Amino acid sequence: MHARKHGPSKACSDDLEQWKRYRVDSTGMFMLFHWMEFALDLHIPDSVWDDPTVQLLMDEASLQIGVVHDLYSLPKHILMNDCRVDTESMNCVAWLMRGTGESLQEAVDRCWDYIHHLDDSVVHAAIVVKSRFRQDKAISQIVDAIVYSLQGSWAYGIRSSQYWFKLLHVCQPALQSEKFTVAASDEKQQPLVVSNEVDDKGDSARTGC
């Protein structure tokens, strides 16, 4: 296993820079991405794992999973903290509320937008990696596995949050001035589709999100 290298995230929120440095590793996805190599019976040289384009792909994928988890786990954390947001926690929403003075709803909206920014960033990073190593099918497979792993985070977050949302009615008095909603989902999150090429406008063919 090679040493972890940190590259600057291309994510859009300067308010989250310190949070990103913490969260990119705390998701635990870096190790999982490497295990995919063995699960798929592939051989990915260390030089590929260390390549800045691959590092960026893993960083952005880890951050996307981290924000999805933080957003959908928020109802649980509210219920476990006497019906209030623990603004001292490392949750992305709490971090924004603490650092920017944003309301609960504003912070939730920011995180929701940030998730979709990261969706696009992951897809673009995947295209760059595939273009750079276009002759290597193993690398293409590992890139697809990393991208598709994001769907598991969506599915788990949506499912688990439904239970906690049902219990949030007991917190309504405490949350009256800080009501929030998370964008509705039909539970059929479409998979990210990554092409091997960039079109004339520099965009990929993708669906979902």
What are the residue boundaries of the structural domains of the chain, listed by start? Answer: 14-165
Task: List the structure tokens of 76.
Answer: 């649980």
Q: Torsion angle of alpha carbons 76, 82, 83, 85, nearest 10°? A: -70
* Amino acid 10: pLDDT: 37
Mean pLDDT across 104-115: 89
- The whole-model pTM stands at 0.71
Q: Is the pLDDT of residue 64 over 70?
A: yes
CB 194 within 8 A of CB 149: no
Please give the CATH architecture assigned to the domain spanning 14-165.
Orthogonal Bundle (1.10)
**pLDDT bracket for residue 125 (50, 70, 90):** very high
> How many whole angstroms separate alpha carbon 123 and alpha carbon 36?
18
Rounded (10°) CA dihedral 172, 173, 174, 176: 70
How many Å apart are CA 6 and CA 95, to the nearest integer?
21
Query: Residue 1: pLDDT band by 50, 70, 90 thresholds?
Result: very low
Least confident piece of the model among 94-103, 120-129, 187-196: 187-196
What is the pLDDT at residue 157?
58
Interatomic CA distance for residues 121 and 134, integer angstroms: 19
Phi, psi of 98 (to 5 degrees): -70, -45
Tokens representing residue 91 in the block: 């949750």
d(C-alpha 136, C-alpha 54), whole Å: 14
* pLDDT class of 141 with cuts at 50, 70, 90: very high
